[in-house]
Amino acid sequence: MTIPSGTAIGSIVVAEKISSGAAGDLYLARQPGLERNVALRKLRRDLLVSPGIMERFRREARLGAQALHPNVVQVFDLFAHRGDHYLVTEHVDGADLRAVLERTGRVPPRIATRIALEMVRGLEELHRRGILHCDLRPENVLLSRWGEVKLTGLATARQLGEAEPPSPPEPTPYTAPELRHDKSIDPQVDVFSLGAVLYELLTGRAPAEGRRLLVGVGPRLTRLIHRCLSQDPSRRPELAAIRRTLERSQARTAADSRITIATWFWDVRMLRTKTPELPEPEPPPHPARARIPRMPRLALPAAAAGLVILALLIRLGGSSDEQAEPTEIESLPPVSAVRPPTPKPPPIVRGEPAEVAFVVHPWAEIQVDELPPFLTPRAEPVELAPGQHELVFRHPRYGEVRKSLEVKPGERRVVRHMFQRPAAR
């Protein structure tokens, strides 16, 4: 049964349902006391009778709480409420790699290597604490909209020296051979899975025996993946060596890698077609001045020629001995007096929404008040109620900028914004 939005479960308020899985439902929730969003996972009540389900649920919470690292999903709480069991973790605003692959087919090498590097850093933290992931696959790697890569899915993870390790997960193309045959394992099981995930990011398909061709991938990266996918654990490279290889190939800081991943991720979500920028409406003419129509380009040379001819005629006419009578020049009425009156604009209906168009360079995600955010370029203007509004411009490279906007009833405006420099990190 889906939990209704707004339901309070202890100190957590449910916002909306994100997804459903075999083990239960996942919700986006809010902790008002801490003013943060969290992910709330509810275990299916009918699974409590299955042996080992509750233990796996607790194991995922316990092992996840030990690893406090930017590349591992942080666990906040595990509790029971009215017969149901809940796991509270940080909310990663983005998608898992499986959803990314379904949308893109494959990932460019410069992005895939950066994702793999962040995965390596998360695995190193788990191994440092004696935790083997054992179920690393695209579904258990989350990619946030800000370029963060986080590991999750520790329900079947093992601890080194554990007397009674949990049963291994169902075999997948990412499972190391020694884990399939339930042999003694070491940290190299995660190296195999890392190579399998990186292989699929680059090719769009999971690795299989006899199919290891990598097209468009450099020789160094190809050798690294082949070594990771070795059937013999002793021939696989250590995580530290993999990290150094990936760091040398990128020659960038971790912050730059996250920016690169986020920019690509946002571009995948954006429309491929460029929409034309809306022209800014011209301001109405000043009431004290009249707008003089602009002369065409050909009219300027013609006017100059006319002045020359007029000057020649005056000189020719002035050669006569008879002095011409001075001509009285009649003062002309002001232009505003002969100009047809400007029609009055139609009366504005009280409370009529304003139309606001946004032009941002290079682009941004824009959020107005509490409305759902949208991406630019956007051809259609946004209808806003008259009054004060809070705007937030977000970009993975340039950070977040906040502005205030006040609109009048029926007003049509274009709001322009240009990011100046990358945000300090």
- 308 domain-assigned: no
- 241 domain-assigned: yes
CA distance 200 to 363: 30
Is 240 found in the same domain as 98?
yes
On whether the CB atoms of residues 9 and 40 are closer than 8 A, the answer is: yes
Is 395 found in the same domain as 261?
no
Which CATH number is 370's domain given?
2.60.40
- 155 domain-assigned: yes
Q: Which residue, of 220, 247, 269, is where some domain finishes?
A: 269
CA distance 196 to 205: 10
Is 401 found in the same domain as 367?
yes
Summarised one tens digit per residue, pLDDT across range 354-390 is 999 999 988 888 999 988 888 888 778 899 999 999 9
201 vs 16, 136, 221, 292, CA distance in Å? 30, 14, 13, 62
Is 82 found in the same domain as 12?
yes
Is 183 found in the same domain as 168?
yes
Is 68 found in the same domain as 100?
no
Which CATH number is 122's domain given?
1.10.510.10
- 326 domain-assigned: no
Task: Check whether 133 has a pLDDT greater than 90.
Answer: yes
> Residue 337 half-sphere exposure, CB side, CA atoms within 13 Å?
4
Q: Which residue, of 238, 254, 269, is where some domain finishes?
A: 269
Q: Which residue, of 234, 250, 269, is where some domain finishes?
A: 269
Task: Check whether 168 has a pLDDT greater than 80.
Answer: no
Is 42 found in the same domain as 120?
no
206 or 345, which is more confident: 206
- 290 domain-assigned: no
Flag whether the pTM goes above 0.95: no
CA distance 25 to 44: 8
3-state secondary structure string across the chain? CCCCCCCEECCEEEEEEEEECCCEEEEEEEECCCCEEEEEEEECHHHHHCCCHHHHHHHHHHHHHHCCCCCECCEEEEEEECCEEEEEEECCCEEEHHHHHHHHCCCCHHHHHHHHHHHHHHHHHHHHCCEECCCCCHHHEEEECCCCEEECCCCCCEECCCCCCCCCCCCCCCCCHHHHCCCCCCCHHHHHHHHHHHHHHHHCCCCECCECCCCCCCHHHHHHHHHHCCCCHHHCCCHHHHHHHHHHHHCCCHHHHHHHHHHHHHHHHCCCCCCCCCCCCCCCCCCCCCCCCCCCCCHHHHHHHHHHHHHHHHHHHCCCCCCCCCCCCCCCCCHHHHCCCCCCCCCCCCCCCEEEEEEEECCCEEEECCCCCEECCCCCCEEECCEEEEEEEEECCCEEEEEEEEECCCCEEEEEEECCCCCCC
Q: CB-based burial of residue 241 (10 Å sphere; 0-12 exposed, 13-18 middle, 19+ buried)? A: middle
- 314 domain-assigned: no
Per-residue model confidence (pLDDT) at position 217: 81
339 or 231, which is more confident: 231
Is 223 found in the same domain as 110?
yes
- 296 domain-assigned: no
Domain residues for the domain of 159 are 94-269
Is 399 found in the same domain as 369?
yes
Lowest-confidence pick of 206-210, 303-307, 357-361, 362-366: 303-307
Question: How do 412-418 and 382-384 pair as beta strands?
Answer: unpaired
Please tell me the total count of domains within the chain.
Answer: 3
Confidence of residue 252 (pLDDT cuts 50, 70, 90): low
Is 372 found in the same domain as 245?
no
Closest CA to 232 of 195, 285, 177, 184: 177
Task: Check whether 281 has a pLDDT greater than 60.
Answer: no
Task: Check whether 102 has a pLDDT greater than 90.
Answer: yes
Which CATH number is 55's domain given?
3.30.200.20
- 304 domain-assigned: no
Is 252 found in the same domain as 236?
yes
Average confidence (pLDDT) over 138-147: 93
Is 104 found in the same domain as 65?
no
On whether the CB atoms of residues 31 and 39 are closer than 8 A, the answer is: no
User: For residue 355, what are its two tokens?
Assistant: 């139309």
